[in-house]
Amino acid sequence: MMARKYFGTDGMRGRVGVEPMTAATVMKLGWAAGKVLAKEGNRDVLIGKDTRVSGYLFESALEAGLSSAGINLRLLGPMPTPAVAYLTRTFRAAAGIVISASHNPYYDNGVKFFSAEGTKLPDETEQAIEDMMAHDMETVDSADLGRAHRIDDAPGRYIEFCKSTFPTGLRLDNMKIVVDSANGAAYHIAKGVFEELGAEVVSIGADPDGLNINRDCGATSPDLLRAHVLMERADIGVALDGDADRLIMVDHRGEIVDGDELLYVLVKARLDSGEKVPGVSGTLMSNLGLEHGLRELGVEFVRAKVGDRYVLEQLRERDWMLGGESSGHIICLDRTTTGDGIVAALQILAYVRESGEPLANLRAGMTRYPQVLVNVPLSHREALNDNPEVQKAVADAEAELGDSGRVLLRPSGTEPVVRVMVEGRVANDVEKICHRVAEAVGKVMG
């Protein structure tokens, strides 16, 4: 594959007004995608967005580019990323496009694509779009221009889909839930899903103004949810991120439950219901406690590169159903095609209701190991694994930690730093070891 100029691991993303996130480039991207997709014969594409003020700008730019390539559009308005994946399938569209920068601040935005099957575009298709970007834009004949239609009932369609993943006959009556929608794409959807299943819902982070998405709320800032769960004496809290593909929860005691712990609870739920769980995919950053907890349940665990795209690749390769990241991307392939915060929350809530146990008890089988992360600035690039000083520091650390810990060195893909991560059973030991390894890395890379 050629080097990518526009696409990263999750579409194209950046600061608004700075290349590639300019109106001109996004319009060109729409045209290029339209030209590639039109070759398959299906000329219908869906567009959804989150609540960033720049969504209006980029929706118009994509509409112009796609229409000029002869593509017909269905505009969904603000919709969660997983909702666009689902609706792309139900509308039998050639592709779905989401305008979102997920958990990033409002001044960033991005464009990501779903295939007709509701999955990430194949690498070959992304490469074809990249190649098409190098050509000059040419508008089809006026009679062949694409047309745009707005889908007014998209939120209701998605709410019904989410409810369909919840066990038939089960309800959430007498359960009080605080739902934080991060002032993002699920602000008009999440509350309705849980209320229609019988829960009493306290809704926060549901008043977007175009600038407050993810600001001190949602899955990336769960302290707000924690405070409301305690204040409302709620049974449980649900936090989504700006495009609602991440989930972090809070139990009735106000303790935060991250993606690793939620994944562990989901595995227990499947096993308790009699289903087989041959294996689970996490990432290089998944807590060691998850790996050990799953081992005790007799479930294999593999680590993918960081990013839900790579988790999904592992699941498909092994024909497994469950995977996720510490950050809250939870993938249940037996329920949907991509990470979905609302669907994952419903699976947890179903287990809470069916077991009669609070989330605090259900998560108890997994012990999170203390984890320390240090970013070491880079002044130059060097192969860390080949440096004898770094190798010795890592080997010494691993020997000290034994089977109860691990060391990870990971160059950042977005910043000039190397991330040094150490985890183990004893917090003080982990911190000392991490700083010792980071010092060795700094001498080489600084």
Is residue 329 included in any domain, yes or no?
A: yes
Q: Are residues 147 and 168 in the same domain?
A: no
**What's the rounded Cα separation, in Å, for the pair 336 and 339?**
8
Pick the catalytic residue: 54, 68, 100, 102?
102
Q: Is the peptide bond before 20 cis (omega within 30 degrees of 0)?
A: yes
288, pLDDT greater than 70: yes
CB of 302 closer than 8 Å to CB of 311: no
Is residue 1 included in any domain, yes or no?
A: no
**What's the rounded Cα separation, in Å, for the pair 340 and 239?**
12
**What's the rounded Cα separation, in Å, for the pair 260 and 330?**
9
Least confident stretch, 220-234, 247-261, 384-398: 384-398
**What's the rounded Cα separation, in Å, for the pair 61 and 57?**
6
What residue type is 29 in one-letter code?
L
What residue type is 54 in one-letter code?
S
Q: Are residues 118 and 213 in the same domain?
A: no
**What's the rounded Cα separation, in Å, for the pair 123 and 423?**
34
258, pLDDT greater than 70: yes
Q: Percent of the chain scored above 70 by pLDDT?
A: 98
Torsion of CA 105, 211, 156, 153, to 10 degrees: -120
Is residue 38 included in any domain, yes or no?
A: yes
98, pLDDT greater than 60: yes
Three-state secondary-structure class, residue 45: strand
CATH number at residue 417: 3.30.310.50
In angstroms and rounded to an integer, the radius of gyration of the C-alpha atoms of the chain is 22
Q: Are residues 40 and 124 in the same domain?
A: yes
pLDDT band at residue 446 using 50, 70 and 90 as cut-offs: low
Residue 92 tokens read as 């039998």
Q: Are residues 138 and 233 in the same domain?
A: no
Helix (H) or strand (E) holding 433: helix 427-445
Q: Quote the number of domains for the chain.
A: 3
Look at the pTM and tell me if it is higher than 0.95.
Answer: no
Q: Are residues 296 and 434 in the same domain?
A: no
Inter-CA distances, 442 with 367, 371, 429, 436, Å: 31, 20, 20, 10
Mean pLDDT of 225-254: 98
Between β-strands 72-78 and 148-150, what pairing exists: parallel, antiparallel or unpaired? Answer: parallel
**What's the rounded Cα separation, in Å, for the pair 297 and 362?**
14
Q: What is the pLDDT of residue 2?
A: 52
Is residue 51 included in any domain, yes or no?
A: yes
Is residue 5 included in any domain, yes or no?
A: no
The total number of residues written for the chain in this structure = 446
Average pLDDT, the chain: 95
Q: Are residues 37 and 174 in the same domain?
A: no
Q: Are residues 188 and 236 in the same domain?
A: yes
| End position of a domain, from candidates 108, 126, 152 | 152
> In this predicted model, which residue has the larger pLDDT, 73 or 443?
73
The string of DSSP codes covering 136-193 is PP-PPPGGG---EEE-TTHHHHHHHHHHHTSPTT---TT-EEEEE-TTSTTTTTHHHH
Mean pLDDT of 248-258: 98
Tell me: the pLDDT tens digits for 143-162?
Answer: 999 999 999 999 999 999 99
Domain range spanning residue 388?
371-445
Q: Are residues 19 and 102 in the same domain?
A: yes
Q: Are residues 253 and 349 in the same domain?
A: yes
Sequence-ordered list of residues with C-beta below 8 angstroms from that of 52, at least 6 positions apart, any chain: 16, 99, 100, 101, 106, 109, 210, 213, 242
| End position of a domain, from candidates 365, 382, 412 | 365
Q: What is the pLDDT of residue 149?
A: 97
Is residue 249 included in any domain, yes or no?
A: yes
- Could you give phi then psi for residue 185, rounded to 5 degrees? -65, -20
**What's the rounded Cα separation, in Å, for the pair 427 and 370?**
5
Q: Are residues 233 and 292 in the same domain?
A: yes
Mean pLDDT of 201-224: 98
Q: Are residues 351 and 431 in the same domain?
A: no
Mean pLDDT of 168-197: 98
Q: Are residues 179 and 145 in the same domain?
A: no
CB of 352 closer than 8 Å to CB of 359: yes
Residue 247 tokens read as 């989930």
pLDDT band at residue 33 using 50, 70 and 90 as cut-offs: very high
Evaluated on CA atoms 27, 28, 29, 30, the torsion sign reads positive
Tell me: the pLDDT tens digits for 333-385?
Answer: 999 999 999 999 999 999 999 999 999 999 999 999 999 999 999 876 666 76
Residues 421-439 as b/e (b if ≥16 CB within 10 A, e otherwise) read bbbbeeeebbeebbebbbe
| End position of a domain, from candidates 113, 133, 152 | 152
CB of 151 closer than 8 Å to CB of 73: no
- Greatest alpha-carbon pair distance for the chain in Å reads 72
**What's the rounded Cα separation, in Å, for the pair 114 and 95?**
5
Catalytic, 102? Answer yes
Q: What is the pLDDT of residue 1?
A: 44
Mean pLDDT of 19-23: 97
Is residue 214 included in any domain, yes or no?
A: yes
Residue 174 burial by Cβ neighbours in a 10 Å radius (0-12, 13-18, 19+) = exposed
Tell me: the pLDDT tens digits for 109-146?
Answer: 999 999 999 999 888 999 999 999 999 999 999 999 99
Is residue 3 included in any domain, yes or no?
A: no
CATH number at residue 300: 3.40.120.10
Q: What DSSP character marks residue 365?
A: G
Sheet bearing 176-180, strands edge to edge: 200-204, 176-180, 236-240, 247-251, 256-257
